[in-house]
Amino acid sequence: MNGNVRQIFIDQLLSWPEVTQQPHRFGGIEFLFIGKEIGHLHGDPLVDLLMPKSFRDQLIVSGRAQPHHMYPDSGWVSVYLTSNEDVTNAIELLRFKYDYLVANRNE
């Protein structure tokens, strides 16, 4: 992902209401909705997201995500950004997680 695509990616997430960013504890950028993590970007090539387990399994079977690169048996998934399609997919998955957090904000 070149610098322009990276900035467009970041700007897209920060355009969603109440989304902020901060450094991630393991490097990269963490995106938050009212203090709850949506996902994080490690450098240019990798996005990690925590998903509900049943949806996580569907993402892996469909090929939209891979088991997390460090914790493959967790609810986390990894999306490698090797093409424009991967970037679009990652934004869609982050948006799903954002919408999930918005819908469940009072829980």
Query: How confident is the model over 33-75, as pLDDT tens digits?
Result: 999 999 999 877 899 999 988 899 999 999 999 999 888 989 9
Other C-beta atoms closer than 10 Å to the C-beta of 15 total 8
Mean residue pLDDT of the chain comes to 90
44 phi, psi to nearest 5 deg: -100, -25
Give the H/E segment covering residue 23.
strand 19-23
Give the H/E segment covering residue 49.
strand 46-50
Q: Decide the pairing of beta strands 46-50 and 29-33.
A: unpaired
Tokens (6 digits) for 54? 């049943």
Q: Give the span between the Cα atoms of 89 and 77, in whole angstroms.
A: 13
Query: How confident is the model over 76-101, as pLDDT tens digits?
Result: 999 998 888 999 999 999 999 999 99
